[in-house]
Amino acid sequence: MEKDEILKLENISRFYTVGTETVKALNSVSMSIYKNEFIALMGASGSGKSTMMNILGCLDTATAGSYHLNGTDVSKMTDNELADIRNREIGFIFQTFNLLPRSTALENVMLPLIYAGISKHERQIMAKETLGHVQLTDRMSHRPNELSGGQRQRVAIARALVNKPSIVLADEPTGNLDSKTSVEIMGLLEEIHRQGNTIIVVTHEEDIAKHAHRIIRLKDGEIETDEQNKNIVTVGSYQSETVK
């Protein structure tokens, strides 16, 4: 059975000019990602990992090459067109949560729906339902400073999911969390993946990457390895270790 291709990069390069020097952040990278994959994108500082994330998330455009997202070439889109496709197709989860401090959890989750032009009544229904999925029904009216780090990341995950995006792009999603909470958040991402979502986790942590089913490693702006993970770690296996 043919897999559904969600995104395709063909010979993507991203060059920056720093003074008189040209920096090749990405150099002719090609790859495809398919529906319901769980991918870890890894690489050391300077590997091109952040540039790759920005291009995948339509936050930046390539110097050369093409990027098709759900069959649409986004490589030559205007800033406004990119903003629209980001809101519809990509759910972002950030290391620093990026929540509005004066807004409640519910209001934070409703935000992408405002940009999508959905009515207030519908926004509330959809945001409440999504907060329920991440077990935060009892924290809807709380502001970020009234929530723990793990709860704030759950709000951020709900905000990423509320528009039912094609891809969930998580940038170091456990970077600001303790190890116990990190395991809980990875368990939630596993559950989201089981429900049919496509997830790309950008991380430098091997322990986090082990949850992914496919691991892509970047080095010097190129793909060094792209392999299926034969030793997938799940939160269930962590819990088993704890019980021993």
Can you give the pLDDT at residue 81?
92
Torsion of CA 193, 197, 200, 203, to 10 degrees: -30
* Residues 211/234, Cβ–Cβ less than 8 Å: yes
Which domains, ranges and CATH numbers included, belong to the chain?
A: 37-58+85-243 (3.40.50.300)
- Residue 96's identity, in one-letter code, is T
pLDDT on residue 3: 79
- Whole-number pLDDT of residue 2: 60
User: Which residue carries 């809807």 as its tokens?
Assistant: 140
Q: Which H helix or E strand runs over 15?
A: strand 5-18
The per-residue b/e assignment along 139-172, b for 16 or more CB within 10 angstroms, e otherwise, is bbebbbeebebbbbbbbbbbbbbbbebbbbbbbb
Least Cα distance to 98 among 38, 193, 171, 189 occurs for 171
Q: What is the pLDDT along the chain (244 residues), one digit of tens a residue?
A: 467 999 999 999 999 998 889 889 999 999 999 999 999 999 998 899 999 999 999 999 999 999 999 999 998 889 999 999 998 899 999 999 999 999 999 999 999 999 888 999 999 999 999 999 999 999 999 999 999 999 999 999 999 999 999 999 999 999 999 999 999 999 999 999 999 999 999 999 999 999 999 999 999 999 999 999 999 999 864 443 333 3
Query: Cα 119 from chain centroid?
Result: 26
Report pLDDT for 244.
32
Q: What is the DSSP letter of 46?
A: T
Q: How many Cβ atoms are within 10 Å of 227's Cβ, its own excluded?
A: 9
